[in-house]
Chains A and B, each alone.
Chain A
Amino acid sequence: MSAAAGICAAPGGASMPHIATERGQREVFCGLTGIIWLHRKIQDAFFLIVGSRTCAHLMQSAAGVMIFAEPRFATAIIEERDLAGLADANAELDRIVAQLLGRRPDIKLLFLVGSCPSEVIKLDLSRAALRLAARFSPAVRVLNYSGSGIETTFTQGEDACLASLVPSLPGHAPGEARNLLVVGSLADVVEDQMRRLFNDMGIADVQFFPPRRSTELPRVGSETRFLLAQPFLADTARSLEERGARYLHAPFPIGAEGTLQWLRSAAHAWQVPEPVFRGATQAAYGRAQRSLARYRGELAGKRVFFFPDSQLEVPLARFLSAEMGMELLEVGTPFLHRAHLAAELALLPPGTTIIEGQHVDNQLDRCCAARPDLVVCGLGLANPLEARGLTTKWSIELVFTPIQGFDQAADLAELFARPLIRRTRLVA
């Protein structure tokens, strides 16, 4: 568990942030946690984790749920007899899938989700998925991906899930016109806003990935241009590029400026005339600016410290610094995709400290020494930091709340302002 392993300036020179990597205890979720929003997004999909009691317990604890309706995720818990070879794990899995699909005829897409234990015992879920697909197709498509903690951090689970879907996306018909693909889970309301904005600038063929239903998969081919709605989709982007699609570089649609530049990147690719672009965006952009102004007084000049969580940290830090006037003390992120975040990194104040990876004890020491006005961190750290007199914002809310786009920009600012306002209200 060595601490900060050297600080190096990112390519681009002195104006770029200082990026350091750190190794040690990581206080982050594993990729299984992505199922919590993915199963709400893809409404006919079921996520079957092949794992341990720990995986099942993680899911119910992280989701903070008791089960109201039977959810579309479950765990096939590996037991002693599976490990001892008394039971054939593959036969057991087949039995459980049959039991599950028998009870849920509404399921059209089944993900077998690998976990730490299933990977360590080398249970081959890709072969299991092929075998089960042969048995249950065409009624049910069966895919697999890994959400294990040894392979993935929190939001990387979505990346692995979407990447597993890319090979089954339909291709383009010859001569078909260019289409725009927006990649990464967004709230339905945000998708609808984005679609209206693109349509207003004359981009009619817009599809979202993941789709709301597995039967509405988007087309992908050499005429596809894609925008990333989320910063954690490295493998998905690579798979799409292998299918011929081209990535439109942009900052992420967070904040008024981020959203404007993100939209502009598509406008450039479609050669949308500037007046048309402005006509399509200026009302919503102005609205976002006016509502953000309300929170600038609360946030400007305040010092913020990010613990790593969702990989959204860099775009969020850029928003807080560039649009809300906050000072960035440290921006922790579990993983930094330098190419996808290039536009974001360029917008950070020179010399911003970015820490990739984590050594949680050392980071807590730095945080407590810096006494930030606001700490953005996970649920395991928030109350202990509050008890030490710091003000915190739980980072998981930034993943579960619609924050992208013009009309959510002020909601996002409010999420950061609320804990600060609350602290000023409480006197006892």
Chain B
Amino acid sequence: MQLTVWTYEGPPHVGAMRIATAMRDVHYVLHAPQGDTYADLLFTMIERLPRRPPVTYTTFQARDLGGDTAGLFQRAAQEAYERFKPQALMVGSSCTAELIQDDPGGLARALSLPIPVVPLELPSYQKKENWGAAETFYRLVRAMASPTAPTPGTKRPPRDPGSQASCNILGPTALGFRHRDDLRAVKEILTQLGIHINVVAPLGATPRDLARLGEADFNVLLYPETGGTAAQWLGRTFDQPLVKAIPIGLSATREFIAEVARLAGVDPAPALDGAPSHSSWYSHSVDSTYLTGKRVFVFGDATHAVAAARIASEELGFTVVGLGTYSREFAREVREAAQRHGVPALISDDYLEVEAKVAELQPELVLGTQMERHIAKRLGVPCAVISAPVHVQDFPARYSPQMGFEGANVLFDTWVHPLMMGLEEHLLTMFRGDFEFHDEAPASHLGSTAGGAKAPPPAIATATATVGGWTAEAEKELGKIPFFVRGKARRNTERFAAERSVAMITVETLYDAKAHFSR
């Protein structure tokens, strides 16, 4: 058993629902007790979908357990087929139904429905939401596209040079972090390159669309977490190459365009020239010099976390002090990325562990999920959200992609706005002690209680309380340092003192430390 207060991912059948809800003309019959319908509100309230997820729950009760839950499942499946007339039926169990072992796949097949029935085996006590989404999408793709598969090992015939290259876009789901907007950004790039988009899936696809996946020349995978398993199978089965770059950030977008253009045999220039990005110039402008070396902590799903760390370091000039993910399936990729940034990777789905890490590292910016946003708020650290799990705020009314050149602009704005602006910082230094520009006035975006020198967050307070004390003069001297670097100065001085077993920090220690760290 595992004690859990909050969880980054739901159970795997919620992942299956994300696939079913993203698609059209598919229906999911879920063998589940009363109450599991709560998952509907994720879609209708968080994503504000104007329709119910295409899911029928059998809603068995205790009195059914002694009786015929299998019959209940069959009646629900038959009725769902007749009412919704889907092109394909997905069937499976939630965690409780998994224990009663009714075999929804066999029961549904026994109904001899005139449509494909796709049984889903999603082990609820081992796996989680993203895995469930990936597995479900793979099962559906396999069920629908297998009949058109060539003999195993068949090489893909070369494309007729005169014909337009085509690709599939894989991965976007319901309840995904900016999937809708990313899809638009990526479609724009592909259109600029003159590439035909064969099928987008699962978002907006029908089961019959999935049957046509093999027709494309190659695959573009936006989210390995949800589309990776299916993309690999398509690669093996139809000998379709896969674009490896994921276009989050300027460099990655350029790499993506180059890779796509190479696979399609087209000139990348139209896409590279077509969408100049403000973010690169803004990052080079003098106002951004204050961003240099800002300590940033990154946590999220693997794709977004790895991309964010790279952008933070290479495109904004931050220093990555921590990188982690809750996706254990992608721990290897995140460990490799962390190594490139010279930090240990944090692989954990326990938000309390993440919180302790943030408190310990004292970053100046946190890039994380909605949970890290709360952690950062508690600790008085600026934060921007880069990854699911999603919140209603992650479905903005405006177009706000993470991918492509416009995505890079969005990231620049979203990550830099929580920080004090460069010019603001200089003014504060200049007018230090001024009655209006005083250092106890917190940054407006943090609200009236967060940040500021008056109320250090408790986690930081306990972290420093264990270190030797400060003399009154040293504390006073520390107060003369601009507040936005004061935390760093205090931390560095205390580390310096602790390493040298200095019991009491004096003004001398403070400047010794300053000299040591600015070497």
Chains A and B belong together in one complex: yes
Does B6 have its Cβ within 8 Å of any Cβ on chain A? yes
A79 touches B57 (CB 8 A): no
Per the bound structure, the CA–CA distance linking A87 and B1 in Å amounts to 9
A80 touches B126 (CB 8 A): yes
Does B59 have its Cβ within 8 Å of any Cβ on chain A? yes
Contact flags B239-277 to A (C-beta < 8 A → 1, else 0): 000000000000000000000000000000000000000
In the complex formed, the residue of B with least CB distance to A96 is B3
Distance in Å: Cβ of A220 to nearest Cβ of chain B: 29
A117 touches B99 (CB 8 A): yes
Does B339 have its Cβ within 8 Å of any Cβ on chain A? no
Contact flags A244-271 to B (C-beta < 8 A → 1, else 0): 0000000000000000000000000000
How many residue pairs at the A-B interface have CB separations less than 8 Å? 195
Interface centre among B49, B79, B128, B374 (most CB of A within 10 A): B79
Stretch with Cβ within 8 A of A (4 or more), from B7-15, B134-142, B482-490: B7-15
A67-B56 CB under 8 A given contacts A30-B35, A54-B36: no
Per the bound structure, the CA–CA distance linking A25 and B125 in Å amounts to 24
B5 touches A70 (CB 8 A): yes
Per the bound structure, the CA–CA distance linking A53 and B132 in Å amounts to 13
In the complex formed, the residue of A with least CB distance to B355 is A67
A79 touches B1 (CB 8 A): yes
Distance in Å: Cβ of A150 to nearest Cβ of chain B: 4
Per the bound structure, the CA–CA distance linking A33 and B60 in Å amounts to 18
A383-B35 CB under 8 A given contacts A24-B59, A66-B374, A117-B96: no
Interface residues of B (CB under 8 A from A): 1-7, 9-11, 13-14, 33-42, 44-45, 48-52, 56-62, 64-65, 72, 75-76, 79, 83, 94-96, 99-100, 123-126, 128, 351, 370-371, 373-374, 378, 391
A74 touches B5 (CB 8 A): yes
In the complex formed, the residue of B with least CB distance to A23 is B59
Q: Which residues of B contact A61 (CB under 8 A)?
A: 10, 38-39, 41-42
What are 27 A-B contacts defined by CB distance under 8 Å? A1-B58, A25-B37, A25-B57, A26-B37, A28-B34, A52-B125, A54-B10, A58-B38, A61-B41, A67-B351, A74-B4, A74-B5, A75-B5, A77-B1, A77-B4, A79-B126, A92-B1, A100-B3, A149-B36, A149-B96, A150-B34, A150-B65, A150-B96, A153-B35, A378-B41, A379-B40, A386-B50
Per the bound structure, the CA–CA distance linking A381 and B391 in Å amounts to 19
Q: Which residues of A contact B391 (CB under 8 A)?
A: 66
Does A89 have its Cβ within 8 Å of any Cβ on chain B? yes
Does A119 have its Cβ within 8 Å of any Cβ on chain B? yes
In the complex formed, the residue of B with least CB distance to A91 is B1
Q: Which residues of B contact A424 (CB under 8 A)?
A: none
Per the bound structure, the CA–CA distance linking A27 and B49 in Å amounts to 17
In the complex formed, the residue of A with least CB distance to B84 is A361
Contact flags A126-152 to B (C-beta < 8 A → 1, else 0): 000000000000000000000011110
A29 touches B38 (CB 8 A): yes
A120 touches B65 (CB 8 A): yes
Q: Which residues of B contact A89 (CB under 8 A)?
A: 1
Does A71 have its Cβ within 8 Å of any Cβ on chain B? yes
Distance in Å: Cβ of A357 to nearest Cβ of chain B: 10
Q: Which residues of B contact A78 (CB under 8 A)?
A: 1, 125
In the complex formed, the residue of A with least CB distance to B64 is A150
B59 touches A26 (CB 8 A): yes
A52 touches B11 (CB 8 A): yes
Per the bound structure, the CA–CA distance linking A76 and B3 in Å amounts to 5
In the complex formed, the residue of A with least CB distance to B374 is A66
A1 touches B72 (CB 8 A): yes
Distance in Å: Cβ of A51 to nearest Cβ of chain B: 8
Per the bound structure, the CA–CA distance linking A151 and B34 in Å amounts to 9
Distance in Å: Cβ of A173 to nearest Cβ of chain B: 40
B95 touches A53 (CB 8 A): yes
Per the bound structure, the CA–CA distance linking A250 and B249 in Å amounts to 65
Contact flags A362-387 to B (C-beta < 8 A → 1, else 0): 00000000000000001111111011
B41 touches A60 (CB 8 A): no
Per the bound structure, the CA–CA distance linking A380 and B37 in Å amounts to 8
9 nearest CB pairs, A to B: A30-B35, A149-B35, A387-B50, A380-B40, A116-B96, A149-B34, A52-B95, A379-B41, A149-B33
Per the bound structure, the CA–CA distance linking A399 and B57 in Å amounts to 24
A28-B123 CB under 8 A given contacts A67-B6, A117-B96: no
Does A204 have its Cβ within 8 Å of any Cβ on chain B? no
Interface residues of A (CB under 8 A from B): 1, 24-33, 50, 52-54, 56-58, 60-62, 64, 66-68, 70-71, 73-80, 82-83, 87, 89, 92-93, 95-96, 99-100, 116-117, 119-121, 148-151, 153, 361, 378-384, 386-387
Q: Which residues of A contact B60 (CB under 8 A)?
A: 150
In the complex formed, the residue of B with least CB distance to A48 is B3
In the complex formed, the residue of A with least CB distance to B63 is A150
Per the bound structure, the CA–CA distance linking A28 and B61 in Å amounts to 13
A56 touches B4 (CB 8 A): yes
In the complex formed, the residue of A with least CB distance to B33 is A149
In the complex formed, the residue of A with least CB distance to B76 is A1
Interface centre among A32, A33, A61, A66 (most CB of B within 10 A): A66
Q: Which residues of B contact A58 (CB under 8 A)?
A: 35-36, 38
A54-B3 CB under 8 A given contacts A379-B45, A383-B45: no
A66-B371 CB under 8 A given contacts A74-B3, A76-B3, A117-B95: yes
Distance in Å: Cβ of A96 to nearest Cβ of chain B: 5
Per the bound structure, the CA–CA distance linking A95 and B10 in Å amounts to 24
Distance in Å: Cβ of A356 to nearest Cβ of chain B: 14
Our pick among B2, B44, B126 for the contact of A379 (Cβ within 8 Å) is B44
Contacts beyond the supplied A1-B75, A28-B34, A60-B6: 14 A-B pairs with Cβ under 8 Å = A26-B59, A52-B124, A52-B125, A53-B4, A54-B95, A66-B373, A67-B6, A79-B125, A149-B96, A150-B96, A153-B35, A380-B41, A383-B45, A383-B50
A76 touches B1 (CB 8 A): yes
Our pick among B50, B76, B96 for the contact of A120 (Cβ within 8 Å) is B96
Q: Which residues of B contact A56 (CB under 8 A)?
A: 4, 6-7
Per the bound structure, the CA–CA distance linking A30 and B39 in Å amounts to 12
Distance in Å: Cβ of B351 to nearest Cβ of chain A: 8
Distance in Å: Cβ of A333 to nearest Cβ of chain B: 14
Per the bound structure, the CA–CA distance linking A402 and B4 in Å amounts to 30
A380-B1 CB under 8 A given contacts A60-B6, A120-B65: no
In the complex formed, the residue of A with least CB distance to B57 is A25
A54 touches B5 (CB 8 A): no
B14 touches A57 (CB 8 A): yes
Distance in Å: Cβ of B40 to nearest Cβ of chain A: 3
Distance in Å: Cβ of B2 to nearest Cβ of chain A: 5
Per the bound structure, the CA–CA distance linking A29 and B41 in Å amounts to 11
Our pick among A77, A79, A120 for the contact of B99 (Cβ within 8 Å) is A120
Q: Which residues of A contact B75 (CB under 8 A)?
A: 1
Distance in Å: Cβ of A148 to nearest Cβ of chain B: 7
A119 touches B2 (CB 8 A): no
Q: Which residues of B contact A73 (CB under 8 A)?
A: 5
Our pick among A30, A53, A76, A95 for the contact of B34 (Cβ within 8 Å) is A30
Per the bound structure, the CA–CA distance linking A404 and B142 in Å amounts to 55
Distance in Å: Cβ of B389 to nearest Cβ of chain A: 9
Interface centre among B62, B96, B378 (most CB of A within 10 A): B96
Distance in Å: Cβ of B140 to nearest Cβ of chain A: 22
Per the bound structure, the CA–CA distance linking A92 and B1 in Å amounts to 6
A57 touches B35 (CB 8 A): no
